[in-house]
Amino acid sequence: MGRRWASRRLGLALALVVVVVVLAGRCDGGVTSSFVRKTGKTVDMPLDSDVFRVPSGDNAPQQVHITQGDRDGTAVTVSWVTCDEPGSSTVLYGTTKNKIEFFAEGKYTRYKFYNYTSGYIHHCTLRNLKHDTKYYYALGIGHTLRQFWFRTPPKVGPDVPYTFGLIGDLGQTFDSNRTLSHYESNPKAQAVLYVGDLSYADNHPIHDNVRWDTWGRFVERSVAYQPWIWAAGNHEIDFAPEIGENEPFKPYRHRYHVPYKASGSTSPFWYSIKRASAYIIVLSSYSAYGKYTPQYKWLEQELPKVNRRETPWLIVLVHSPWYNSYNYHYMEGETMRVMFEPWLVQYKVDVVFSGHVHAYERSYRISNVAYNIVNRKCTPVPDQSAPVYITIGDGGNVEGLANNMTEPQPSYSAYREASFGHAIFDIKNRTHAHYAWHRNQDGNAVAADSMWFYNRYWHPIDDSATSAA
Ligand SMILES: *[C@@H]1O[C@H](CO)[C@@H](O)[C@H](O)[C@H]1NC(C)=O
Ligand SMILES: *[C@@H]1O[C@H](CO)[C@@H](O)[C@H](O)[C@H]1NC(C)=O
Ligand SMILES: *[C@@H]1O[C@H](CO)[C@@H](O)[C@H](O)[C@H]1NC(C)=O
Ligand SMILES: *[C@@H]1O[C@H](CO)[C@@H](O)[C@H](O)[C@H]1NC(C)=O
Ligand SMILES: [Fe+2]
- Average pLDDT per 10 consecutive residues for the chain, totaling 469 residues: 38 38 49 77 92 97 98 98 97 94 98 98 98 98 95 98 98 97 96 98 98 98 98 98 98 98 98 98 98 98 98 99 98 97 98 98 97 88 98 96 96 97 98 98 91 98 90
The DSSP code for 176 is H
End-to-end C-alpha distance for the chain, whole angstroms: 44
Three-state secondary-structure class, residue 213: helix
Smallest-distance ligand from the CA of 440: 2
Contact by Cβ (8 Å): 419, 440? yes
Of 330, 343, 260, 240, the C-alpha closest to 299 is 343
- Catalytically active residues are 329
**CA distance linking residue 157 with residue 266, whole number of Å:** 27
Question: At 345, phi and psi to the nearest 5?
Answer: -75, -45
**CA distance linking residue 166 with residue 354, whole number of Å:** 10
Q: Is 39 in the pocket of ligand 3 (CB under 6 A)?
A: no
Cross-strand bridge partners of residue 354: 391
Contact by Cβ (8 Å): 106, 63? no
**CA distance linking residue 428 with residue 374, whole number of Å:** 44
Task: Report the predicted TM-score, pTM, of the whole model to 2 decimal places.
Answer: 0.93
Q: Closest residue (by CA) to atom 4 of ligand 4? A: 432
Question: At 274, phi and psi to the nearest 5?
Answer: -110, 135
The DSSP code for 234 is G
Ligand 4 atom closest to the CA of 434, numbered from 1: 4
**CA distance linking residue 242 with residue 15, whole number of Å:** 56
Q: Closest residue (by CA) to atom 6 of ligand 3? A: 327
Distances in whole angstroms, Cα of residue 284 to Cα of each of 53, 202, 232, 242, 409: 32, 19, 6, 25, 28
Q: Closest residue (by CA) to atom 10 of ligand 3? A: 404
pLDDT of residue 310: 98
Three-state secondary-structure class, residue 426: strand
Q: Is 372 in the pocket of ligand 1 (CB under 6 A)?
A: no
Q: Is 208 in the pocket of ligand 1 (CB under 6 A)?
A: no
Q: Is 432 in the pocket of ligand 4 (CB under 6 A)?
A: yes
pLDDT of residue 48: 98
Q: Closest residue (by CA) to atom 2 of ligand 2? A: 177
Ligand 2 mean position, distance from CA 81 (Å) = 22
Q: Do β-strands 102-105 and 90-94 pair in parallel, antiparallel, or remain unpaired?
A: antiparallel
Ligand 1 atom closest to the CA of 117, numbered from 1: 13
Q: Is 117 in the pocket of ligand 1 (CB under 6 A)?
A: no
Sheet of strand 90-94: strand arrangement: 102-105, 90-94, 134-139, 146-151
Ligand 4 mean position, distance from CA 159 (Å) = 10
**CA distance linking residue 436 with residue 354, whole number of Å:** 15
Ligand 4 atom closest to the CA of 430, numbered from 1: 1
Ligand 3 mean position, distance from CA 404 (Å) = 6
Q: Is 404 in the pocket of ligand 3 (CB under 6 A)?
A: yes
